[in-house]
């Protein structure tokens, strides 16, 4: 309870004064101190026949005779701060409308380490996808990754910080086995969206290869997407032919080798057309950015994000402290420290 009370005196990052100009009244306090000091500079004098009792007169009361004035100054300082209305300011965002559920389905097979993109296809894809996520504040977004097997790295969520963290963690070889199971990757993405009650659900499938392996064929996965009303945008990336690819061995060493790379544009076009999406080809990072920008324009969320400020007032403890000090000053001044004419 005491700790909660102290929190009202904590001037953190969001702290502000509603009426900061009131703090100008604090200039009065040093003036009062100067006036008080000048009045008490010359002690009262009187004639006595002996001075043997003067040392004994220096009692606790005489040593603390300025306490009421100190309390009065502190009380006025607290009351002035209370008048300035200290408070914490919080900006609150509220979403109204219907968002879109989006699953990013990314190929992380070894060929995604090809360096025709800077620095590699996979790193470029991650960077562009991250920018896309940040441009969709009202949508739920998730991530599926695949090579010869597929895995839901992040279910659809409005917590985009988590999505960005998971995107950054992706690396080639994450799933160990090599291959490009496009059907499995798409099916896993569909599974992550099929229970969604969002009116619009889309998958953005990105790959640089042909379908190799996997337990579910692309045709079956496409049929599942159609059944659940999920639109699939497909992206084929990279240049075809022999490319230099950096692979990491089991010992952790990076080895460069030439690899023949191709992707099945016909398959990707078919998946997109059957589900109401579109097929794109991106030969470099700039083209990939344009692809995501185009998808961003096509899939507009009907979400209005309104922001407003919420305040937590902190003037009350200052007001109460000032009044208590003022009352204590009055009591001491009129009783214990009372001066008689």
Handedness of CA 316, 320, 323, 329 (dihedral sign): negative
pLDDT at 127 over 80: yes
pLDDT tens digits for range 200-220: 999 999 998 778 778 899 999
Give the pLDDT score at 5: 46
Q: Give Cα separations from 82 to 20, 219, 269 (angstroms).
A: 11, 70, 67
Q: Which of 243, 291, 235, 242 is nearest to 264 (CA)?
A: 235
Give the pLDDT score at 73: 93
pLDDT tens digits for range 251-303: 555 656 666 667 788 999 999 999 999 999 998 899 999 999 999 888 876 65
Q: Which of 211, 205, 203, 187 is nearest to 262 (CA)?
A: 211
> Domain 100-300 is of which CATH architecture?
3-Layer(aba) Sandwich (3.40)
By the 8 A CB rule, do 218 and 211 touch? Answer: yes
Query: What 3 state SS string does the chain have?
Result: CHHHHHHCCCCCCCEEECCHHHHHHHHHHHHHHHHHHHHCCCCCCCCCCCCCCCHHHCCHHHHCCCHHHHHHHHHHHHHHHHHCCEEEEEEEEEEEEECEEEEEEEECCHHHHECCCCCCHHHHHHHHHHHHHHCCCCCEEEEEEECCCEEEEEEEECCHHHHHHHHHHCCCCCCCCCCECHHHHHHHHHHHHCCCCCCEEEEEEEECCCCECCCCCHHHHHHHHHHCCEEEEEEEECCCEEEEEEEECCCCCEEEEEEEECCCHHHHHHHHHHHCCCEEEECCHHHHHHHHHHHHHHCCCEEEEEEEEEEEECHHHHHHHHHHHHHHHHHHHHCCCCCCC
Mean pLDDT of the residues in the chain: 83
Give the pLDDT score at 144: 97
Q: Which of 246, 315, 231, 340 is nearest to 277 (CA)?
A: 231
Q: What is the residue extent of each domain of the chain?
A: 2-40+55-90+310-334, 100-300
pLDDT tens digits for range 49-93: 555 555 555 677 778 888 999 999 999 999 999 999 998 887 766
Of the pLDDT bands very low, low, confident and very high (cuts 50, 70, 90), residue 2 is very low
Give the pLDDT score at 250: 54
């Amino acid at each position: 309870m005491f700790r909660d009370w102290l929190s009202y005196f904590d001037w953190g990052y969001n702290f502000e004064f509603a009426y900061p100009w009131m703090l100008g009244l604090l200039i009065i306090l040093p003036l009062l101190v100067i006036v008080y000091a000048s009045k008490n500079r010359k002690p009262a004098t009187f004639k006595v026949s002996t001075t043997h009792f003067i040392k004994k007169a220096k009692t606790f009361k005489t040593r603390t005779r300025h306490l009421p004035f100190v309390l009065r100054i502190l009380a006025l300082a607290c009351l002035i701060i209370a008048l300035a209305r200290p408070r914490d300011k919080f900006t609150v965002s509220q979403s109204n409308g219907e968002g879109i559920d989006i699953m990013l389905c990314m190929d992380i097979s070894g060929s995604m380490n090809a360096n025709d993109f800077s620095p590699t296809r996979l790193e470029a894809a991650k960077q562009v996808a991250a920018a896309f996520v940040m441009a969709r504040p009202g949508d739920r977004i998730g991530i599926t990754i695949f090579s010869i097997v597929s895995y839901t790295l992040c279910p659809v969520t409005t917590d985009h910080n988590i999505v960005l963290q998971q995107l950054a963690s992706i690396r080639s070889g994450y799933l160990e086995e090599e291959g490009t199971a496009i059907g499995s990757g798409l099916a896993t993405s569909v599974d992550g969206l099929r229970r969604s009650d969002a009116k619009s659900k889309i998958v953005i499938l990105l790959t640089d290869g042909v379908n190799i392996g996997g337990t579910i064929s692309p045709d079956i996965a496409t049929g599942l997407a159609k059944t659940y009303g999920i639109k699939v945008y497909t992206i084929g990336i990279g240049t075809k032919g022999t490319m230099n690819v950096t692979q990491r061995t089991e010992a952790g060493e990076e080895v460069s080798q030439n690899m023949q790379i191709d992707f099945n544009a016909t398959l990707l076009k078919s998946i997109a057309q059957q589900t109401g999406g579109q097929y794109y080809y991106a030969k470099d990072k700039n083209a990939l950015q344009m692809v995501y920008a185009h998808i961003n324009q096509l899939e507009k969320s009907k979400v209005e994000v309104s922001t407003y400020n919420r305040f937590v007032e902190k003037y009350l403890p200052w007001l109460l402290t000032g009044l208590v000090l003022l009352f204590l000053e009055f009591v001491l001044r009129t009783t214990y420290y009372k001066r008689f004419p």
